[in-house]
Amino acid sequence: MNRFAALLSLTLVAGALAPVPAVIADDFAYGPDTCRTGYVWREAQPLDHVCVLPSSRTRAAQENRVALSRIDPAGAYGPFTCISGFVWREAFPGDAVCVIPPRRSAVARENAEAALHRTRG
């Protein structure tokens, strides 16, 4: 039984019929990774639960789709060397998707601010 169901059960057992506040229900929707209203998981990889604006998630998906076109497999850093003008995104450890430098900075900022965009930061 999740924490919300347990809280609801305790409320009903105690005889209180007052509804559980919506903010409590939202806090438990996806556990500690629940995003605040207006934010979604970035999903640069399946377990990337950093809460970002929807436009950033869309951009991460687009970056993933074109990832192979931005690498130089014969480059100095091996098969994941970025072509000129691109750097590794670094959304998570091992993320070698190539993006423009301002995007990597934006992703680093999203990671640093992650707790601010969760309901239970």
Residue-wise pLDDT for 52-100, tens only, equals 999 999 999 999 999 999 999 999 989 999 999 999 999 999 999 999 9
Distance between CA atoms of residues 118 and 9, nearest Å: 25
Distance between CA atoms of residues 84 and 115, nearest Å: 33
Q: How confident is the model at residue 1 (pLDDT cuts 50, 70, 90)?
A: very low
User: The pTM is what?
Assistant: 0.73
Distance between CA atoms of residues 54 and 22, nearest Å: 22
In the chain, domain spans = 33-117
Residue 64 CB coordination number (10 Å)? 15
Q: At a CB cut-off of 8 Å and minimum separation 6, what does 21 contact?
A: none
Query: Is residue 36 over pLDDT 70?
Result: yes
Say if residues 53 and 114 touch (Cβ distance below 8 Å).
no
Sign of CA dihedral 7, 22, 114, 97: positive
Q: Which residues pair with 101 in a beta bridge?
A: none
